[in-house]
Amino acid sequence: MDVCTQSALHPEALREARAALEGAPLGRLAELFKVLGDPTRSGILLALGSTVPDGGGEGEGSSGARLCVCDLAELFGVSSAAISHHLRLLKAHRLVRSRREGKMVFYALDDEHVAQLFSQGFEHVKEGGR
């Protein structure tokens, strides 16, 4: 351990910080962000968030698209196994919900916060936040 041997350098600030960390569900929060921290998964959420205007016939409100595993696999150019894997993760974190319909399984967003989360992220990225 290369940690400083001299002393706790700024005890007051440290105490404050500890207090802030104490109550926070840090693990869960990081886990959520980790789930979002993959381009394919963010892409899935973004795609599912895209509103389909003149519903072709599968009409289901206008709160977001509904896509099957096949669609997503083609959309991102990966195997459906990979997509399935990602979807399982997203589902475990209540970010998407699934609904079987015949041979296919359709996925849709399951959380109203996700869109806001993304827009905040965009804000940061747009402002040159590398």
Of 43-102, binders to DNA (CB under 7 A) are 68-70, 73, 78-89, 98, 100, 102
CB burial of 3-25 (b: ≥16 within 10 Å; e: otherwise) equals eeeeeeeeeeeeeeeeeeeeeee
Rounded-to-integer distance, Cα 43 and Cα 82, Å: 13
1 is an interface residue for a copy of itself by CB under 8 A: yes
> What is the per-residue binding string for a copy of itself in 26-65, x denoting contact by CB under 8 A?
xxxxxxxxxxxxxx-xxx--xxxxxxxx--x-x------x
Contacts of 53 (CB under 8 A, 6+ apart): 62
Element (H, E) at 3: none
Verify binding: residue 105, a copy of itself, rule CB under 8 A: no
Q: Does 102 interact with a copy of itself (rule: CB under 8 A)?
A: no
According to the binding rule CB under 8 A, does residue 100 interact with a copy of itself? no
Q: How far apart are CA 96 and CA 81, in angstroms?
A: 17
23 contact, one of DNA, a copy of itself, none, CB 5-8 Å limit per kind: none
8 binds DNA, rule: CB under 7 A: no
